Amino acid sequence: MLFPQITAAEKRKLFREKLKSGKLLQFPGSFSPLVSMMIEKKEFDGVYISGSVLSNDLGYPDIGLTTLTEVAQRGRQIARTTSLPAIIDADTGWGEPMNVTRTIQEFIEMGLSGCHLEDQENPKRCGHLDNKAVVETSAMLKKIKAAVNGKKLDPNFLIIARTDARASEGLDKAIDRAKAYVDAGAEMIFPEAMQNEKEFEAMRKAISVPLLANMTEFGKGKLYTKTELENLGYNLVIYPVTTLRLAMGATDKGLDIIKSTGAQTEALPMMQTRQQLYDLTAYEDYNQFDQNIFNFKL
């Protein structure tokens, strides 16, 4: 009730331990505190907070228009309702290396368990779009080192380096960048837009730290199963936009039903029921505080 019975520091510690298990960890994307609660109820391993989704939820495209304050505050709201670890998209870090240090400090204070930082130029683009431009490797190394400096508040906060170089420089250059990022202090690598199993395998063979796979719908690559990704040697998979797409797809259909029929009756099978919502938010448990809060029957 109100807050999970686990501290942010404990979440980070447990997340580190899970990463050593050798099992693939599944982190569905969450765009709402309520969705985070559902992800935990379904017994996933963690929560992912997408920069694209946060931008889209504000009505913007994913081109780096959000601010650190907006993302960090929303990240806290989404992370605090679950005992699961939450990792968040830091885009390009909101500025120069010193800004990156502050970004990491903010995320730690907001209760997050890790973040990924990418090597795109601003304005950034979605990882599965064409014509992405990446910064010089040396510039990204400075940001990674700055990120490592920022995690002194909690060494268990996970620094993930994302490289978008596959699309513009090729696989070999992307691997070279990933190796350099690890040497600079990155503790996990997020190779964006790998195109086939051989590329996933090549990255795994070359990189010694854990690897993150991005299973986003309607992108450039195949949607691999949990077993397939485990067999490829990956350690964590994110489904960044899945829950938002599900919600918006159902909303689109439901509004069409109301518009065409004049009522929402036909849309009821698509909806979470009132009882399901009350169960998810632990409505009855709050009765322990005040009998007047929950004094009715459905």
> Catalytic residues, which ones?
48, 62, 89, 91, 116, 118, 126, 162, 192, 214
Q: Is the CB of residue 180 less than 8 Å from the CB of residue 119?
A: no
User: How would you classify the pairing of strands 188-191 and 158-163?
Assistant: parallel
CA atoms within 13 A on the CB side of 275: 2
| Token duo for residue 162 | 């994302």
Q: What is the DSSP letter of 124?
A: P
Report the C-alpha gap between 20 and 121 in whole angstroms.
Answer: 33
Alpha helices, DSSP H only, in the chain? 8-19, 33-41, 51-57, 68-80, 97-109, 137-150, 165-169, 171-184, 197-206, 226-231, 242-261, 274-280
